[in-house]
Structure 1
Amino acid sequence: MRTFSLAAIALGALLSLPASADDRAALAGLLDSFLAATHKKEAHQRFWAEDLVYTSSSGKRFGKETILAGFDGGDSQPATTAYSAEEVDIRLLGDTAVVAFRLVAGEGPAGKPGTGSPAEYFNTGTFVKRDGQWRAIAWQATRIPAAE
């Protein structure tokens, strides 16, 4: 009986590996596609959970409704900043994940390298998987001071 239990545990661990790899890939793809389209309301609707708690780098706390209200009835804003994620660390905890990364915000249109000095932030997001879709439920952004 003990051999069967150990075999069942090992099999369960092996079967969960592809799901973990798939979830990591899904979260990485979600982050990349979001950063490429932050100027589009649709990207924010898809990325953020309805019950989001967002703490900005300026110390303000708000939710998804406030983010969407920033589009003032339009579906997009001018793409004046290009964003990219570096040093991405994805940690899976079942249907919850923590994604930490360095956000680089450069001047220039979204998707194109910036020409000015980039602003950098440490971002940490907590995601939940609901109905098969990952959504950010909590977010913390901290500006990284420029090197002297």
Structure 2
Amino acid sequence: MRYLIIVFTLLFSSAALAQESVEEATTKAVEGFLYGASINDPQAHDRFWADELTYTSSSGNRFDKEHLMSGVKSSKTKEPENVEVWYGAEDIEVKQFGDTVVFNFTLTAEEEGKVTKYYYNTGVLIELDGRWQAVNWNATEVPE
């Protein structure tokens, strides 16, 4: 009986650690992307968005990675001291389904040290080439 208790404890412990690992990895991927988005870094966008991306914006427009990247590439990357809006993540919820993660959070837009807008964001992430990438993304502006 003692042996079974030890086995079950180890199984549940390693399952919890694996979940924490995926949660931590996806959170780092999203937070790293948000930093890159704040400075308008095309490489951050290219790394984070999968080639198969479907993005639904808060204005209701739907587009793919190529369209999204065309807008990013037409703007210059900013030095951190020149950033006007910093993006952040609050209320993060990670749901893992096998090799797929549904990543829910509230995106914040901060200007001059004050959060001025909130967006509910949901991303479907998969691990490709050793990094978490978004294959689907939905953004909804939170009404004031």
Structure 2 unaligned regions, length at least 5: 1-5
Query: Is the contact between residue 125 and residue 136 of structure 1 (CA under 8 Å) also seen in structure 2?
Result: yes
CA–CA separation in structure 2 for the residues paired with 1:128 and 1:33: 16
SS in 2 for 1:54: strand
RMSD of equivalent CA atoms: 2.6
Partner letter of residue 52 of structure 2? D
The match for 2:83 is 79
The Cα shift of 1:68 comes to 1.2
SS in 1 for 2:32: helix
Question: 1:90-143: per-residue Cα shift (whole Å, max 9, x none)?
Answer: 1111210001111111225xxxx34xx611110000111123321101000001
Query: Is the contact between residue 42 and residue 73 of structure 2 (CA under 8 Å) also seen in structure 1?
Result: no
Describe how 1:26-105 pairs up with structure 2 within 5 A: 26-38=25-37, 39-72=40-73, 76=77, 79-105=83-109
Q: Report the number of matched residues.
A: 137
Partner letter of residue 37 of structure 1? G
Whichever structure has more helix as a proportion of its residues is 2
Change in CA separation of 1:83 and 1:74 when aligned onto 2, cut-off 3 Å: closer
The Cα shift of 1:9 comes to 8.3
Identity over aligned pairs, percent: 34
Query: Is the contact between residue 42 and residue 75 of structure 1 (CA under 8 Å) also seen in structure 2?
Result: no
Partner letter of residue 33 of structure 2? F
TM (normalized to structure 2)? Answer: 0.81
Query: Is the contact between residue 54 and residue 61 of structure 1 (CA under 8 Å) also seen in structure 2?
Result: yes
Which is worse superposed, 48-57 or 68-77? Answer: 68-77
Query: Is the contact between residue 56 and residue 137 of structure 2 (CA under 8 Å) also seen in structure 1?
Result: yes
Change in CA separation of 1:141 and 1:74 when aligned onto 2, cut-off 3 Å: closer
Query: Is the contact between residue 89 and residue 105 of structure 2 (CA under 8 Å) also seen in structure 1?
Result: yes
